Structure 1
Amino acid sequence: MQEPVEIVERRTATDVVFERLYEEIVSLKLMPGTKLSEQEIARRFGVSRQPVRDAFNRLGNLDLLLIRPQKATEVRGFSMPRIEHARFVRLAVELEVLRDACSVWTESHAEALERIIDRQQQVIDRGQPEKFHELDYRFHRLICELGGHPLAFETIEDCKRKIDRLCVLSLGRAQEAATLVEDHRRIAHALRRRSAEEATAAARLHLGRLDETIADIHRTHSEYFE
Structure 2
Amino acid sequence: MATIVRVTASEEIYQTLRAEILSLRFKPGEEMNLQLLSSQLQVSRSPVRDALMRLSSDNLVDIFPQKGTRVSLINLRQVEEERFLRKSLEESAVKKFIYQAREEHYERMERTISEQAESMKQNDFVSFLEADDLFHSIIFEGIGMTRIWKIIKAQGGNHHRIRLLSFYEKNVLANIIDQHKEMVEALRYKQMDSILRLEDKHLSKLLQETESMFQRYPGYFKQESVQTGLQARIVNL
TM-score over 0.5 for the alignment? yes
Counterpart among 97, 107, 110 of residue 101 in structure 1: 97
Distance 1:188 1:177 in 2: 17
Contact 1:64–1:162, Cα closer than 8 Å, also in 2: yes
State the Cα deviation string for residues 104-150 of structure 1 (Å, max 9, x = none). 12223222221222222222234434321111111111111013322
Q: How many residues align?
A: 222
Distance 2:122 2:218 in 1: 32
1:124 aligns with 2:96: no
Counterpart among 195, 199, 207 of residue 199 in structure 1: 195
TM-score (norm 2): 0.85
Unaligned runs of 5+ in 2: 223-237
1:156 aligns with 2:152: yes
| Matched residue, 1:220 | 216
Shift of residue 11, structure 1, vs aligned partner = 2.9
The secondary structure found in structure 2 opposite 1:20 is: helix
Unaligned runs of 5+ in 1: none
The secondary structure found in structure 2 opposite 1:67 is: strand
Higher helix fraction (1 or 2)? 1
**Residue type at the aligned position of 2:139:** I
- Tell me which stretches of 4 or more aligned residues in structure 1 moved more than 4 Å: none
Q: In the superposition, relative to structure 1, how do residues 22 and 92 fare at CA in structure 2: closer, same or farther (>3 Å)?
A: same
Segment drifting more, 118-127 vs 130-139: 118-127
| Matched residue, 2:137 | 141
Could you tell me the percent identity over the aligned residues? 28
State the Cα deviation string for residues 185-226 of structure 1 (Å, max 9, x = none). 121111111222211111111111112222211223222222
The secondary structure found in structure 1 opposite 2:36 is: helix
TM-score (norm 1): 0.89
Shift of residue 65, structure 1, vs aligned partner = 0.1
State the Cα deviation string for residues 47-97 of structure 1 (Å, max 9, x = none). 122211111022112211001323311111011111111111111001000
